[in-house]
A and B are shown apart, each in its own frame.
Chain A
Amino acid sequence: MEQAVEGEYRAFMTGNEAVAWAALAAGAHYMFGYPITPQNEIMHLWRRLGSQYERGFLQTEDELAAGFATIGAVVSGKVAFSATAGPGSVLFQEPLSMAEMMRLPVVVVVQQRGGPSTATVIYSQQELTLTCFGGNGEGLRLVYSTASHQELYDYTIKAFHNAWRYRFPTFVLGDGYQAKMREALVLYDPGERGIGPVPAKPIFHSQRRGAEKPLLHLRNSFSVEEELGEVLERHLDDYARAVPALVEHEFFGEPDGALLVVAHGVVGRAARQAVQELRREGRRVNYFRPITLRPFPEQALREALQLSGGSVLVAESAEGQLGNLVRLAASAEGLPDFRSYYRPGVGITAEEIKEAVLNERAVDAALLE
Chain B
Amino acid sequence: MRSWKIIVSGEGGQGVQALAETLGRAAFQSGLNALYIPNFGIEQRGGVSLAFVQLSSGPIGAPKFRRADLVVALSPRSLRRSEQYFAPGTVLLYDSSLIEAPEISDQVVGQQSYETIAPESFAERTGYRERQDEAEIGSRRVIAIPASDLARQRLHPRVFNMIILGAVVSITGAVTLEQVKAALEEKLSHRFAHDPRLREHNHAALELGAAAVQVPLQI
Q: Are A and B bound to each other? A: yes
Taking beta carbons and an 8 Å cutoff, which residues of A are in contact with B? 10, 12, 37-38, 120-122, 176-178, 180-184, 266-267, 269-270, 272-274, 347-352
Q: Which of A38, A122, A180, A352 contacts B66 (CB 8 A)?
A: A352
**Contact A273:B61 (CB < 8 A) given known A12-B25, A182-B24:** yes
CB proximity of A361 to chain B, nearest CB, Å: 22
Task: Let me know if A12 and B28 touch, CB within 8 A.
Answer: yes
Is there contact, CB below 8 Å, between B34 and A270?
no
17 extra interface residue pairs, beta carbon distance < 8 Å, beyond A12-B25, A121-B40: A10-B28, A12-B28, A12-B29, A38-B40, A180-B37, A180-B38, A182-B25, A182-B34, A182-B36, A183-B34, A184-B34, A266-B62, A347-B62, A347-B64, A349-B65, A351-B65, A351-B66
A177/B61 in contact, CB under 8 A: no
The answer to whether B60 and A350 have CB atoms under 8 Å apart is no
Partner of B28, one of A180, A184, A273, A350: A184
Q: How far is the CA of A340 from the CA of B130 in the complex (A)?
A: 41
Interface positions of B from 35 to 90, Cβ below 8 Å from A: 35-42, 60-67
Residue of B nearest to A178 (CB): B63
CA distance A28 to B116 in the complex (A): 39
0/1 string, B1-44, CB within 8 A of A gives 1: 00000000000000000000100110011000111111111100
**Complex interface: chain A residues within 8 A of B42 (CB):** 121
A-B contact pairs, 24 of them (CB 8 A): A12-B25, A12-B28, A12-B29, A37-B40, A120-B41, A122-B40, A177-B64, A180-B37, A180-B38, A182-B21, A182-B37, A183-B33, A183-B34, A183-B60, A184-B28, A184-B34, A267-B62, A269-B60, A269-B63, A274-B61, A349-B62, A349-B64, A349-B65, A351-B65
Inter-chain contacts of B62 with A (CB < 8 A): 266-267, 269-270, 273, 347-350
Interfacial chain B residues near A352, Cβ < 8 Å: 66
Query: Which residue on chain A has the smallest CB distance to residue B35?
Result: A183
**Number of residues on chain B facing chain A (CB within 8 A):** 23
Q: Which residues of A contact B64 (CB under 8 A)?
A: 177, 347, 349
Assembled-state Cα–Cα distance A74/B35 (Å): 36
Q: Enumerate chain A residues within 8 angstroms of B28, measured Cβ to Cβ.
A: 10, 12, 183-184
Q: Which residue of A lies closest to B60 (CB)?
A: A183
> A184 contacts B66, CB within 8 Å?
no
**Docked pose: A121 CA to B38 CA in angstroms:** 13
The residue among A183, A269, A352 with the most chain B CB atoms within 10 A of its own CB is A183
A178 and B35 CA atoms in complex are apart in Å by: 11
Bound CA span A323–B74, Å? 41
Whether the pair A270, B33 counts as a contact (CB closer than 8 A) is: no
Give bound CA distance, A225 to B21, whole Å: 58
**Whole-angstrom distance between the alpha carbons of A343 and B36 in the complex?**
22
Assembly CA distance A352 to B67 (angstroms): 11
Instruction: Give CA–CA (A272, B58) in the complex, Å.
Output: 13
* Chain A residue at smallest Cβ distance from B61: A273
Which A residue's beta carbon lies closest to that of B25? A12
Contact (Cβ within 8 A) A184 B33: yes
The chain A residue with its CB closest to the CB of B26 is A12
Task: State the CA gap A266–B74 with chains docked (Å).
Answer: 29
Known: A12-B25, A270-B61. A349 touches B35 (CB 8 A): no
Measured in the bound complex, the distance between the Cα atoms of B42 and A156 in whole Å is: 27
Residues of B within 8 A of A121 (CB): 40-42
Collect the chain A residues with CB atoms within 8 Å of residue B34's CB. Answer: 12, 182-184
> B65 and A350: CB pair below 8 A?
yes
- Report the separation of the CA atoms of residues A178 and B36 in the bound assembly, to the nearest whole angstrom: 11
- Which of B24, B39, B63 contacts A12, CB < 8 Å? B24
Bound Cα distance from A169 to B212, whole angstroms: 57
10 closest A-B pairs (Cβ-Cβ)? Answer: A273-B61, A270-B62, A181-B37, A12-B28, A183-B35, A182-B36, A351-B66, A269-B61, A181-B63, A350-B61
Report A-chain residues with C-beta under 8 Å of the C-beta of B61: 269-270, 272-274, 350
Give min CB distance, A147 to chain B, whole Å.
10
Cα distance A348–B62 when bound, in Å? 8
Q: Which of A38, A121, A351 has the most CB of B within 10 A?
A: A351
Of B25, B39, B40, B61, chain A has the most CB atoms within 10 Å of the CB of B61
Which B residues touch A273, using CB under 8 A?
A: 61-62
Q: How far is the CA of A352 from the CA of B61 in the complex (A)?
A: 13
In the assembled complex, which residues on chain B have CB atoms less than 8 Å from the CB atom of A349?
62, 64-66
CB distance from B33 to the nearest CB of A (A): 7
Q: Kindly state the separation between the CA atoms of A219 and B25 in the bound complex, as whole angstroms.
A: 51
